[in-house]
């Protein structure tokens, strides 16, 4: 293959979060000027989401122990934004080989690429619970965004439920900000955390921070329950959430009054664009979900398409920064450009520790697959289309649908506006349990365009 000239090689990065920013920074340092497209108006992604202009809270208030990292990331971006082709407020809604379809302010245009680096990040991962469609139920990430980006609490009295480090982080952030935290309800029992300690020690600093958060909650006398089984979000159709009912580890029923529930089980990657590009995905056993299949450095199965960060493998924001640098170097190497071997090795070493750590997280805070089987038939699986677990199960038993896309065609689970982001994985678990097969065999929802809803007012911009 002929050596591509760096200056004429059109490199496009999708996503201005930690992975995309470090990738752009590394490419820029090597003399490449990438296009960086981001859906949001401001850079930073989710965990390092910037507050709107005119807000006054300092970095420590906003990002706690991660304040220094957040500041460094934002300042890095501020330095490079004028030197790259930065296109915020732009959604990549579709693509064909070598060309992205973008929409911004209601106008569609195309962006050609020779190399595409997907840094599309993640969303919360949800397991339905009876009543979770009631107004006042939010994702953990959503609860965090409300606070960080808008300085509001999602309710007057908030229950945090689910599992994963985010559960404790957001609850303690709410506590510090003066919100009313009613309880923290973790589905993972203590034993799992202890069992995962050896892996979690791969990143002792992070582990320690996690323990400090827990201590803060205990000190503030916030009820924290481990090993719970979620039963129901209580409330009514008009007013929304009024409480949460769970079964404790000791087998007792516990009801907590609240007007908001923040729910989540760690993260799931946004792989729709990679799917549309034809990239292969692989099933990650440890977290029991489908990730992008990439090599160690971020090359996907499609020539010219790369990926980094939580949009590819869920390893957190720190890993995203390292992966962003590493994938930039992979591209440079593929273009026969010189690469700083020391910097590359540094990223690889850091990521190896993070791989260990994330295995520990998956062990300490497991995806509660068994809850899918336990869902009552009346529980809603698909919030967009209001399809119940019972209806989904009937497509398995009555129509023989043992695969996600087939079950979607019959039941409508995943046909709504969110395109299965919040229901499809749990739906797969429901199907797997009903069909008596391993969840991997049930497959995953095929990504389709538009990646997010596309307005019918969209107009084409002439090139």
Partner 1 sequence: MTLQKADVVIVGGGLMGSATAFFLRQRGQSVILLERDQIGQYASGVNFGNVRRQGRFLGQLELANRSWALWKRLPELIDDDLEFIASGHMRVCYREDEIAELEAYAAAPEAEQLDLKIYRGAELHQRFPFLGPDVKGGSYAPHDGHANPRLAAPAFARAARRLGARIEEQTEVAEVQKVGGEFTVTTTDGRQFSAEQLLITAGAWGQKLSAQFGEPVPLDTHGPQMAVTEPVPYALPTVIGVYTKIPEEVIYFRQIPRGNIVIGGGYRSKPDMLNRRAQVEPRSILNQIQQMRRLLPGVGNLNIIRVWSGIEGYMPDSLPVMGRSGTVDGLFYAFGFCGHGFQLGPGVGDVMAELISTGSTRTSIEPFSIRRFALSAEQRSKAS
Partner 2 sequence: MKGRFVRLAEQGRPTVKLTVDGTPIEALQGDTLMVALLTQGSALRQSEFDSGRRAGFCLMGACQDCWVWTRSGERLRACSNEVRDGLDIVTTQPEAIWPLHG
Residues at the site binding partner 1, with contacts judged by CB under 8 A: 94, 96, 101, 108, 110, 399, 403, 406, 409-410, 415-417, 419, 448-450, 453-458, 460
Minimum CB distance to partner 1 smaller for 286 or for 454:
454
- Rounded to the nearest 10 degrees, what angle do helices 317-334 and 341-364 cross at? 140
Min dist. Cβ of residue 455 to partner 1 (A): 6
Rounded to the nearest angstrom, the gap between the alpha carbon of residue 153 and the centroid of all alpha carbons in its chain is 21
DSSP state, residue 412:
-
In this structure, what DSSP letter does residue 447 have? P
Can you read off the two tokens belonging to residue 186? 């973790």
Q: How far is the CB of 381 from partner 2 (least distance, A)?
A: 13
CB closer to partner 2, 39 vs 318: 39
- Rounded to the nearest whole angstrom, what is the least distance from the CB of residue 293 to partner 2 in the complex? 23
Does residue 365 contact residue 192 with C-beta atoms inside 8 Å? yes
Residue closer to partner 2 by CB (options 318, 385) is: 385
In the numeric block, the tokens 């400090």 are attached to 212
Residue closer to partner 2 by CB (options 97, 453) is: 453
Residue 406 binding result from partner 1, partner 2, none, given CB thresholds of 5 to 8 Å by partner type: partner 1
Partner from partner 1, partner 2, none contacting 280, C-beta within 5 to 8 A by type? none
Q: What is the CA radius of gyration of the chain?
A: 22
Measured CA to CA, the distance from residue 177 to residue 143 in angstroms comes to: 13
In the bound state with partner 2, the residue whose beta carbon lies nearer, of 135 and 353, is 135
Q: Are 344 and 337 in contact (CB under 8 A)?
A: no
Q: Which of 289, 293, 261 is nearest to 275 (CA)?
A: 293
Minimum distance from CB of 189 to partner 2 (Å)? 27
What per-residue string of b and e applies to 366-385 under the rule 16 or more CB within 10 Å gives b?
Answer: bbbbebbeebeeebbbbbbb
C-alpha separations of 363 from 202, 287, 291, 371, 403 in Å: 14, 8, 17, 17, 27
**Helix axes of 317-334 and 67-80: crossing angle, nearest 10 degrees:** 30
For residue 386, the partner it binds in partner 1, partner 2, none, with Cβ less than 5 to 8 A by kind, is partner 2
Q: How far apart are CA 313 and CA 369, in angstroms?
A: 19
The listed partner (partner 1, partner 2, none) that binds 152, CB under 5 to 8 Å by sort, is partner 2
| Nearer of residues 33 and 42 to partner 2, judged by Cβ | 42
Q: How far is the CB of 233 from partner 1 (least distance, A)?
A: 24
Residue number, 176 or 452, with CB nearest to partner 1: 452
Give the shortest CB-278-to-partner 2 separation in angstroms: 23
- Considering the complex, state which of residue 259 and residue 318 has its C-beta at the smaller distance from partner 2: 259
CB of 137 to partner 1, least distance (A): 21
| Of 398, 399, 401, residue with least CA distance to 430 | 401
Nearest-approach distance from CB 417 to partner 2, in angstroms: 4
The item of partner 2, partner 1, none sharing an interface with residue 204, based on CB under 5 to 8 Å by kind, is none
Q: Give the footprint of partner 2 on this chain (CB under 8 A).
A: 39-40, 46, 51-57, 123-124, 133-139, 141-143, 145-147, 149-156, 177-179, 237-240, 259-260, 270, 383-386, 416-418, 421-422, 452-453, 455
């Amino acid at each position: 293959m002929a050596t591509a000239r760096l200056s004429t090689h059109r490199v496009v990065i999708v996503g201005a979060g930690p992975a995309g920013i470090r990738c752009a920074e590394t490419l820029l340092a090597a003399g490449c000027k990438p296009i960086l497209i981001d859906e949001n108006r401001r850079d930073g992604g989710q965990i390092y989401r910037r507050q709107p202009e005119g807000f006054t809270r300092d970095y420590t208030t906003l990002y706690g122990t991660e304040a220094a990292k957040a500041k460094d990331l934002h300042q890095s971006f501020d330095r490079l934004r004028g030197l790259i082709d930065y296109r915020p407020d732009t959604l990549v809604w579709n693509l064909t080989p070598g060309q992205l379809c973008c929409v911004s302010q209601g106008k569609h245009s195309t962006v050609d690429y020779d190399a595409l680096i997907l840094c599309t990040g993640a969303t919360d991962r949800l397991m339905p619970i009876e009543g979770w469609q009631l107004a006042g139920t939010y994702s953990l990430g959503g609860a965090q965004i409300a606070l960080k980006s808008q300085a509001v609490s999602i309710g007057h009295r908030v229950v945090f439920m689910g599992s994963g480090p985010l559960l404790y982080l957001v609850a303690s952030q709410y506590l510090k900000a003066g919100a009313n935290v009613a309880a923290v309800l973790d589905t993972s029992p203590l034993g799992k955390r202890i069992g995962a300690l050896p892996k979690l020690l791969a990143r002792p600093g992070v582990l320690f921070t996690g323990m400090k958060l827990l201590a803060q909650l205990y000190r503030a006398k916030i009820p924290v329950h481990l090993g719970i089984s979620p039963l129901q979000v209580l409330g009514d159709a008009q007013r929304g959430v009024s409480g949460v009912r769970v079964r404790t580890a000791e087998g007792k029923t516990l009801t907590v009054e609240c007007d908001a529930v923040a729910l989540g089980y760690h993260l799931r990657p946004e792989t729709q664009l990679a799917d549309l590009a034809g990239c292969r995905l692989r099933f990650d056993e440890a977290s029991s979900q489908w990730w992008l299949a990439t090599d160690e450095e971020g090359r996907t199965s499609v020539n010219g398409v790369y990926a980094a960060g939580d949009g590819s493998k869920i390893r957190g924001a720190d890993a995203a920064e390292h992966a962003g640098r590493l994938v930039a170097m992979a591209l440079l190497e593929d273009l026969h450009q010189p690469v700083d071997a020391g910097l590359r090795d540094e990223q690889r070493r850091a990521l190896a520790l993070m791989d260990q750590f994330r295995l520990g997280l998956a062990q300490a805070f497991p995806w509660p697959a068994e809850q899918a089987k336990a869902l009552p038939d009346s529980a809603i699986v698909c919030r967009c289309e209001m399809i119940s677990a019972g209806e989904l199960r009937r497509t398995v038993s009555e129509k023989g649908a043992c695969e996600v896309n087939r079950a979607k065609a019959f039941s409508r689970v995943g046909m709504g506006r969110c395109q299965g982001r919040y229901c499809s994985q749990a739906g797969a678990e429901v199907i797997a349990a009903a069909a008596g097969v391993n969840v991997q065999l049930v497959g995953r929802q095929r990504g389709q365009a538009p990646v997010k809803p596309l307005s019918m007012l969209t107009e084409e911009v002439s090139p």
